[in-house]
Amino acid sequence: MNPILDKARVIKAYRWMLMARLLDERLAQLYRAGRIFGGVFLGKGQEALSVSMGMVLNRQDVYAPLIRDGAGRLAFGESALDALRTCMGSPMGPMRGRDGNVHRGRPKEGYLPMISHLGASISVVNGALMAKRMKGEKKFVGIASIGDGATSTGAFHEAINQAAIEKLPLVLVVANNQYAYSTPTSSQFACQSLSQKAIGYGVSDHEVDGTSLTDCLKTMQDATDRARQGEGPQLVIANLLRLCGHGEHDDAHYITPELKASSVGADCLKLAENTLQSDYHISKESLEIWKEETVLEINQSIEQVQREGAPDPYHHSWKSLISRELCEHS
Amino acid sequence: MSVTYLEAIREAQAYLLEHDSRVYIYGQDVGAFGGAFKATKHLANRFPGRVIDAPISEDAMIGSAVGAAIEGMRPIIEIQFADFSTVGLNQVVNQAATLFWRTETPCPITLRLPSGGTSGGGPFHSQCLESIYAHFPGLVVCTPATVEDAYSMLIESVTLDDPVIFCEHKYLYYHLKAESLPKDALPLGKARIARAGRDCTVVTYSAMLHECLEAAEEMSAEGIELEVVDLRTVKPLDTDTIIASVARTGRLLCAAEGWPWGGVNAEVISRVVAEGFNLLDAPPQRINAKDTPIPYHPKLWSVHRPAAASIMAAVRNVLRS
């Protein structure tokens, strides 16, 4: 059997998916209770794909997740605590209240913080990979995660082309989740499948059922293996459906019943639970216990974040440069 | 032996490549071809694998520099003409300029922008964009006016842990010469009194410095002595040096090649009025390029940008009031 599908790893992947889903649900509650500043953006329906990215990466790799990658972030090493700290604006989190919600990361650890401009992270991953090559590192990869909407940007075009020219070990993962905010894919691209774009750039392509955890794990493992072995950039298209609005402010009324009822509309978490029970002989009781343990950890993290308080604007360092002597007065 | 402004930029890059293994150059045609202006001539040969040709993708070039900086490198990105940097503006102002503030991770990248007008350059090969970049927090913006500063400021820019927009002026590339490369220099962020005088302070930078100095020489023959301040960096602005000069002269003219609305001249005047209003004997004035795209024909161009004659007229206006 493919080692990525051994029992321990699939369980691990499932538990990160579960935590991402339960974390999302708590974030939605906190949002409705007015405990979150700004918006809340959930990854419901994308956890199988997302977690697979985190599962196939190593410490020396680079990961640029996007808005719906709570599961991938956890699998890459982020704690639920750091996620909550950023969403709730704790001064102890990696962004210290300076940036929020999905805009978080620890760049020095290869975990890149997204900006809101779509497609803009891909070339940043490219540069990190170019640097690693110049430094003589070996067998590293970088994953950039985007959605179908970002494939329409100039930044996407420039960056995938750049990666192809430089033969970089980039795995570019597109969650083809059928909508960019409310815009359906028919208004986003006119090719039959997004994987057709690969040939134009001279990169390899993979297409996967984004609702299947085992398929996503296999495909992500294959794509990253190829990139690690020097086969150049890999474009992965995962077909799935966003099972929520763009953010919690959006009721997603525009998602058609036909799509919801189609195969892309399946809930990857439920499918993973079915697979765990049927193929890995995990009992219902175990699933229940895992859920309880996860809820407990999330609740403890929320309590801790609430104790950490808020950043103090009057004792904040309002300096935008490291070179303090070059900062303008503010 | 003499060295041009362009050669100083090339020598600074050679020095950086030689002394810091984290430095590399990435830009269109910079490799074997040596760059559109030959600012990287022979460097690809001397430093194999570290002077890299880029596709015509300013966004990806600058984005990749941010990623490399996160990994500890110190990229120099040559944008072929400053005008094209707007294609990559997003990566500059939203990735590079915000990285340290957001994450405490240094972003030591240097963007070289061949800036400003030359005869026949026209609307898209002549722009001065320093005011645009200075507007955004998180960037240092350099505008060297001399051969010595082109050399020492570029070295200091690449050594800095922050992102730097290095606006080098194309008009100065070939005809501005110095005897030799400098041994020492003022630090970034310090302005320089390029010429002392008692009657009016003229604050300027980059190629306009030389127009202002020419104007000062001509007016000196009439007994009018201009004090010319070369800003060197437009961000940060050395307000102290400017105010000290205005305290001596009581009058201020700001001269810049960029467009008038907002911008460096407006910022200097705003600060002098706010912090040194009582030092002023007359309303401060500014002279900029005209508020149109930059014209192609040399005759149109010669009056579009400020030059010694129009600067003298502007000074007289300040002295009259």
Fold of A3-326: Rossmann fold (3.40.50)
Both B82 and B25 in one domain: the answer is: yes
Reported ipTM: the value is: 0.97
Both B138 and B256 in one domain: the answer is: no
Is residue B112 situated within a structural domain?
A: yes
Q: Do B316 and B277 contact (CB within 8 A), yes or no?
A: no
Among residues B19, B42, B125, B210, the one annotated as catalytic is B125
Is residue B183 situated within a structural domain?
A: no
Both B121 and B256 in one domain: the answer is: no
Both B147 and B244 in one domain: the answer is: no
Distance of alpha carbon A295 from alpha carbon A116, whole angstroms: 30
Contact: A108, B70; criterion CB under 8 Å:
yes
Contact: B67, A327; criterion CB under 8 Å:
no
pLDDT tens for residues A8-34? 999 999 999 999 999 999 999 999 999
Report pLDDT for A330. 61
Distance of alpha carbon B84 from alpha carbon B296, whole angstroms: 17
> How confident is the prediction for chain A on average, in pLDDT?
96
Both B107 and B143 in one domain: the answer is: yes
Report pLDDT for A109. 97
Q: Looking at the complex, report in whole angstroms how far the Cα of residue A79 sits from the nearest Cα belonging to chain B.
A: 17
Q: Give the nearest partner residue to B138 out of A99, A115, A320, using CB atoms.
A: A320
Residue A128: its chain B contacts at CB < 8 A? 67-68, 70-71
Contact: B102, A128; criterion CB under 8 Å:
no
Q: Looking at chain A, which residue has its C-alpha nearest residue B142? A: A326
pLDDT tens for residues B12-52? 999 999 999 999 999 999 999 999 999 999 999 999 999 99
Report pLDDT for A107. 98
Contact: A320, B59; criterion CB under 8 Å:
no
Contact: A134, B97; criterion CB under 8 Å:
no
Contact: A161, B55; criterion CB under 8 Å:
yes
pLDDT tens for residues A40-87? 999 999 999 999 999 999 999 999 999 999 999 999 999 999 999 999
Both B197 and B174 in one domain: the answer is: no
Residue B194 has pLDDT above 90, yes or no: yes
Average pLDDT of B80-95?
98
Average pLDDT of A154-176?
98
Average pLDDT of A244-268?
95
Both B226 and B167 in one domain: the answer is: no
CATH number, domain containing residue B292: 3.40.50.920
Q: Give the nearest partner residue to B64 out of A105, A123, A326, using CB atoms.
A: A123
Residues 6+ apart with CB under 8 A from B219: B225, B226, B312, B315
Both B166 and B71 in one domain: the answer is: yes
Q: Give the nearest partner residue to A158 out of B60, B66, B94, using CB atoms.
A: B60
The answer to whether residue A167 neighbours chain B at the CB level (below 8 Å) is no
Is residue B199 situated within a structural domain?
A: yes
The answer to whether residue A1 neighbours chain B at the CB level (below 8 Å) is no
Residues listed for chain B: 321
Average pLDDT of B224-251?
98
Residue A307 has pLDDT above 90, yes or no: yes
Domain with B96, as residue range(s), is 3-178
Out of B149, B178, B207, a domain closes at B178
The total number of structural domains that make up chain B:
2
CATH number, domain containing residue B97: 3.40.50.970
Both B196 and B168 in one domain: the answer is: no
Residue B54: its chain A contacts at CB < 8 A? 162
Q: Give the nearest partner residue to B160 out of A117, A127, A323, using CB atoms.
A: A323
Residue A328: its chain B contacts at CB < 8 A? 235-237
Contact: B137, A320; criterion CB under 8 Å:
yes
Out of B148, B178, B208, a domain closes at B178
Report pLDDT for B272. 98
Both B198 and B293 in one domain: the answer is: yes
Average pLDDT of A133-148?
98
Q: For an interface test with B, which of A320, A324, A330 has the most B Cβ atoms less than 10 Å from its Cβ?
A: A320
What amino acid occupies position B105? Answer: T
Q: Do B95 and A115 contact (CB within 8 A), yes or no?
A: yes
Report pLDDT for A1. 78
pLDDT tens for residues B103-146? 999 999 999 999 999 999 999 999 999 999 999 999 999 999 99
Residue A153: its chain B contacts at CB < 8 A? none
Contact: A131, B161; criterion CB under 8 Å:
no
Residue B156: its chain A contacts at CB < 8 A? none
Report pLDDT for B1. 77
Strand ranges in chain A using DSSP code E only, listed in sequence order: 62-64, 142-147, 170-176, 179-180, 183-184, 204-209, 234-239
Residue B97: its chain A contacts at CB < 8 A? 320
Out of B178, B206, B225, a domain closes at B178
Distance of alpha carbon A69 from alpha carbon A49, whole angstroms: 9
Q: Could you tell me which of A123, A205, A218 has the C-alpha nearest to residue A168? A: A123
Distance of alpha carbon A122 from alpha carbon A102, whole angstroms: 17
Tell me how many residue pairs between chain A and chain B have CB atoms under 8 A apart: 141
Q: Tell me, yes or no, if B125 is annotated catalytic.
A: yes
Both B28 and B167 in one domain: the answer is: yes
Both B156 and B32 in one domain: the answer is: yes
Beta bridge partners of B140: B164
Is residue B170 situated within a structural domain?
A: yes
Residue, of B321 and B78, whose pLDDT is higher = B78
Q: How do the domains of chain A map onto residue ranges?
A: 3-326
Report pLDDT for A329. 74
Distance of alpha carbon B23 from alpha carbon B17, whole angstroms: 6
